[in-house]
Structure 1
Amino acid sequence: MTRASLDKQPHEVAAMFDDVAPKYDLTNDVLSLGQTRLWRKAVVRAVDARPGERVLDLAAGTGTSSQPFAAAGAYVVPCDFSLGMLREGRKRQPHLPFTAGDATRLPFADGVFDAVTISFGLRNVQDTDAALAELLRVTKPGGRVVICEFSHPVLAPLRTVYTEYLMRALPPIATTVCSNPDAYVYLAESIRAWPDQPALAARLQKAGWSKVAWRNLTGGIVALHRGVRA
């Protein structure tokens, strides 16, 4: 699969991530020019996990994004639908309770998490609205959601340079660090096809989240959306 579309097939996306799992974190650091670490820190601050809280980290991959929540004293559940990512995560961080799950049919009871978060995974879900509703379902009243996702740069010059980088530079760079550069062609196209900041905020509100807001990171290359379950 090398074309992003609104009909993303879960088994194809999962197979793609299975293939890139061993070098996924390294590849992301290289392709983002080190920005992923800053974006992860912004997510950790926004989630603000506290000791004893339950946190769902959806699309957690190898668990790199989950570890800071555990370090804060929260009980974090890294969840992903790529078995390859989960296997790699269990090798690296066997203390975390990695769980296989589909974002549109989460294997958790209603209202069990104080906070739910997903970073750079929502755009790969076949039914975005179903995933946002599922996140709401498993969150306690008063609980919070934090979504970190690639978005639309707010300044036209940056938007032009960024688009050129995605489609021209990203695949050749990926070839040097990743065994499946076609996967990153798909990822680049999925970023271009993703809704902008206001559109994603509207979908969060439609799913039932309240107090929805967002802030841009790196000029809007990434956006951090937040919401609360009433």
Structure 2
Amino acid sequence: MTRASLDKQPQEVASMFDDVAAHYDLTNDVLSLGQARLWRKEVARAVDARPAQKILDLAAGTATSSQPFARAGAYVVPCDFSLGMLQVGKARHPWMPFTAGDAMRLPFRDDTFDAVTISFGLRNVQDTSAALAELYRVTKPGGRVVICEFSQPTWAPFRSVYTEYLMRALPPVARAVSSNPDAYVYLAESIRAWPDQPALAGLLQKAGWGRVAWRDLTGGIVALHRGFKAA
């Protein structure tokens, strides 16, 4: 079993997700107390995929997050650097164009996609700014980015309870439902170390994205950030 460290070496992170691929979606549903499905619906609304649009779903894992875009009639490319995740996803959705790719060096041409999105994956990339710049590069002028990521609860008393859950309750629950519970210790540590909502918005702006805004979900446990590439 593999557990990544907070220096987020790409091979370590990919190997960690390979280990949990088979039960990843179920484990997320349990650990999020069912909220993961609600968050995916909000991402789909924010991306607002349309027929014939090209959508990049980065860190797509098994492509559960990609299905709403496909149902909307868009051409969606699920991309991930965990081959284990891609293999599980391909077995479930054999018609989808799964693509292996590193967020810091995407295997796509400039100005390819109408929208790019990443859910709960940006936090695992070694260089956040490089990933945001790559997403900008492969987006068409006028296109949009939607990022769904764990963030910082906005109400201080709830933030304390949430942090306690992450570090004390999450690892024992993960041991009961996950094939690699140590991976969820990394998950808790990486959430605590992640920038808050305004800081991530600032990184998006530095990467070139305009009209950057965010919306909190579940009291700020998760935040949706959106930005646009100049037309």
Q: Same fold (TM over 0.5)?
A: yes
Partner of 2:211: 211
CA distance in 1: counterparts of 2:67 and 2:19, whole angstroms = 23
| CA deviations over 1:122-149 (Å, ceiling 9, x no partner) | 0000000000000000000000000000
| CA deviations over 1:84-137 (Å, ceiling 9, x no partner) | 000000000111100000000000000010000000000000000000000000
SS across alignment from 1:97: coil
Partner of 1:58: 58
Partner of 1:143: 143
SS across alignment from 1:51: coil
**Runs of 5+ unmatched residues, structure 2:** none
SS across alignment from 1:227: strand
Q: Taking every aligned residue pair, what percent have the same amino acid on both sides?
A: 79
| CA deviations over 1:45-91 (Å, ceiling 9, x no partner) | 00000000000000000000001100000000000000000000000
CA distance in 1: counterparts of 2:3 and 2:77, whole angstroms = 30
TM-score normalised to structure 2 length? 0.98
- 1:8 corresponds to 2:8: yes
SS across alignment from 1:225: strand
Partner of 1:32: 32
CA distance in 2: counterparts of 1:3 and 1:85, whole angstroms = 16
What RMSD over aligned residues (CA atoms) do the two structures have, in Å?
0.8
CA distance in 1: counterparts of 2:174 and 2:21, whole angstroms = 14
**CA distance 1:160–1:4, shift in 2 (3 Å):** farther
CA distance in 2: counterparts of 1:78 and 1:158, whole angstroms = 34
| CA deviations over 1:12-61 (Å, ceiling 9, x no partner) | 00000000000000000000000000000000000000000000000000
**Runs of 5+ unmatched residues, structure 1:** none
Partner of 2:175: 175
Partner of 1:92: 92
Task: Decide whether the 8 Å contact of 1:142 with 1:228 is kept in 2.
Answer: yes
Describe how 1:146-165 pairs up with structure 2 within 5 A: 146-165=146-165
Task: Decide whether the 8 Å contact of 1:79 with 1:101 is kept in 2.
Answer: yes
1:44 maps to a residue whose letter is A
Task: Decide whether the 8 Å contact of 1:3 with 1:185 is kept in 2.
Answer: no
CA distance in 2: counterparts of 1:214 and 1:4, whole angstroms = 28
Task: Decide whether the 8 Å contact of 1:51 with 1:74 is kept in 2.
Answer: yes
CA distance in 2: counterparts of 1:158 and 1:216, whole angstroms = 14
**CA distance 1:229–1:107, shift in 2 (3 Å):** same
Partner of 1:130: 130
Partner of 1:185: 185
CA distance in 2: counterparts of 1:214 and 1:80, whole angstroms = 24
CA distance in 2: counterparts of 1:4 and 1:14, whole angstroms = 12
Task: Decide whether the 8 Å contact of 1:4 with 1:187 is kept in 2.
Answer: no
CA distance in 2: counterparts of 1:181 and 1:37, whole angstroms = 21
Count of matched residue pairs: 229
CA distance in 1: counterparts of 2:97 and 2:142, whole angstroms = 24
Task: Decide whether the 8 Å contact of 2:3 with 2:12 is kept in 1.
Answer: no
SS across alignment from 2:223: strand
CA distance in 1: counterparts of 2:40 and 2:220, whole angstroms = 15
Partner of 2:107: 107
